[in-house]
Structure formats: structure tokens, C-alpha cells
Amino acid sequence: MNTVLVLNGPNLGRLGSREPDVYGADTYEDLVTLCRETGRHLDLHVEVRHTNDEAELIGWVHQAADERLPIVLNPAAFTHYSYALRDALAQRTAPLIEVHISNPAAREEFRHNSVVAGVATGTIAGFGLMSYVLALQAVAELIAEKSKG
């Protein structure tokens, strides 16, 4: 069974109480449960992690590169300015799907730029927690394609 890291950046641990008009009423635990259940249906072992610490997130990205693990990443605010995270992600050795619960392009102008998108396999945004489901489905498809040939 393939392992996928679902990594979440700052403030995502506060889902359910943080701006529910933007991020919905689902909690971080709801997100963890959804990702793990989706993984089981896709024959993926899903590890869900959250940090408010840029250095810790970069360490997880290095681990994924070393172990050739796919990543589903919601970099949160790091999306817009963390060149250190972008440089770590550029070392990836497996698929990387950038996800966002809301649609950054429909929000404040400072959210329109992603320094991560240029090194990601793809980006899924604006579908609420379903963005994670779609990203995990994409990872499963990419793994299947790679194993075929």
C-alpha cells in the first residue's frame, strides 16, 4: 500500500472555528477522518499532519523527497511567500498536489500568487474539504499510471 503525506500549514488546525464563512464548519478532525477514509477507498495509507511551523513543514517535505512519498499539501499562508518551502518542494521525487479549501484567486489580491504552484504537479482549490478528496484521487491515478509503465 502506497503512503501519501497530507501536509497542512498554519492555522488549518483551527478549522471549524477559523472564519467558518470562508473555510466552512468542518473541523480539522473532520478533515483527518475524510482523508484517511478516502485513502482507504483508494488503497492508500494516508498520514495527515498539521504545523504552524515553517521549519517543521520543510522537514516533512525533505522526508517525503527522501522516501519518494507523494504529497497533498495545503501550504496555507506559506503559499504566498515561502520561498524556503518552494525550494524544498522543488526537490520532490513523487507527485505533489497543492490544495486549498477556498479559492485563493477569488479572495484578497495578496492570495492570488502561489510560489508553490510552479513546482507542483497540479493545484486543486475552492471545493472545500472535497479539494483533498480530489487531490488524493489524483495521486492514486498518478501512482497507477506510473506502475503501468
23-43 as b/e: b if 16+ CB within 10 A: bbebebeebbebbbebbeebe
Of residues 60 and 110, more confidence is placed in: 60
Q: What is the reported pTM?
A: 0.92
The identity of residue 19, as a single letter, is E
Domain CATH for 98 = 3.40.50.9100
How many CB atoms within 10 Å of residue 3? 15
Does 80 carry a binding-site annotation? yes
Is residue 42 very low, low, confident or very high in pLDDT (cuts 50, 70, 90)? very high
**pLDDT 10s digits, 50-106:** 999 999 999 999 999 999 999 999 999 999 889 999 999 999 999 999 999 987 766
Mean pLDDT of 126-148: 95
Residues 119/90, Cβ–Cβ less than 8 Å: yes
Range of the domain at 6: 2-148
> How many residues in the chain?
149
pLDDT of residue 21 exceeding 80: no
For CA atoms 105, 111, 113, 117, give the dihedral sign.
negative
List, edge to edge, every strand of the sheet that includes 44-50: 44-50, 2-8, 71-74, 96-100, 122-125
**Phi, psi for 110 (deg, rounded to 5):** -65, -20
147 annotated to bind ligand: no
Number of folded domains that form the chain: 1
Stretch 104-119: mean pLDDT, rounded? Answer: 78
Catalytic positions: 23, 100
pLDDT band at 111 (very low <50, low <70, confident <90, very high): low
CB 43 within 8 A of CB 85: no
Is 124 known to sit in a ligand binding site? Answer: no
- At what angle are helices 28-41 and 130-148 packed, to 10 degrees? 30
